[in-house]
Amino acid sequence: MSRKKIRGKYVLPVNGKLIPVSREVYESFYTHKRREKYLEERDRDKGLMRFSNYDTKDRNFIDYAEDKNIDVEKVVETGMIIKELYKALDGLNLEERDLITQIFFEERSIRDIAREKKISHVAIQKRRNKILAKLKDVLKDLED
């Protein structure tokens, strides 16, 4: 329905019926309605589309966009474990943390690290294993 002014009275369409309102309500309603239309036109001119444009009679766009293959609970659990891992890494001394960073985050080989430090790769392996055991001990509470 379009704007209607019946014999000096202001009315607005509500559920297919015309409801009498005051002039202030009438003007406010159409001011907001025009603003909404302006914003939609501006978005359209800039090539933006609303998700609601993809809604159908039977389904909303979100029903199509939702990825049902993701286990949200598992994602949250993994995030919590990673957070705890970083806390455990903060508990290492500087030398231990540096070694773990080089091996696991920078993906450097044990042999490269051993050459750089001028010690045997077996010594680096033993240090790595000792540090991993220390981390495992700190993180064992998470397994429960």
Q: What is the pLDDT of residue 66?
A: 65
Q: Are residues 47 and 83 in the same domain?
A: no
Q: Are residues 44 and 81 in the same domain?
A: no
- Domain with residue 110: its CATH number is 1.10.10.10
pLDDT, greater one: 2 or 76: 76
Q: Are residues 36 and 86 in the same domain?
A: no
> How large is the greatest C-alpha to C-alpha distance in the chain, in angstroms?
98
Judge if pTM exceeds 0.75. Answer: no
In which domain, by residue range, is 22 found? 4-56
Please check whether residue 67 lies inside any domain of the structure.
no
Encoded tokens for 89: 């890494």
CA 88/CA 29 separation, integer angstroms:
58
Q: Are residues 17 and 51 in the same domain?
A: yes
In this model, does residue 38 exceed pLDDT 50?
Answer: yes
Q: Are residues 95 and 52 in the same domain?
A: no
Q: Are residues 48 and 78 in the same domain?
A: no
Please check whether residue 113 lies inside any domain of the structure.
yes
Q: What is the pLDDT of residue 143?
A: 63
